[in-house]
Amino acid sequence: MLASPDNWQKYYPGTPEEQRVQRHFSFSDRIRYYWPTPEAQRATRTLLDVLSEKDIPRPLVSQY
């Protein structure tokens, strides 16, 4: 998000620390702007590759 502040800056007023908190907890609302980027696609692929090698307990998955 920091690389593309035009997508969020006008929606998150305040100090840099307040903006950091807002970005952290509001990220899912603005993810639509980032999904198509090559960086997001690459990061998603990497995450899924890593997770595919792990056995994630069902109770952990059901929490989210």
Distance from C-alpha of 62 to C-alpha of 15, rounded to nearest angstrom: 36
Count CA within 13 A, CB hemisphere, residue 18. Answer: 6
The domain tally of the chain equals 1
Q: Which alpha helices (DSSP H) does the chain contain, by range?
A: 16-30, 38-52, 58-63
Q: Which domain holds residue 11?
A: 5-63
- At residue 64, does pLDDT exceed 80? no
Write out pLDDT tens, residues 11-52.
899 999 999 998 888 766 677 888 899 999 999 999 999 999
Give me the pLDDT at residue 28, please.
64
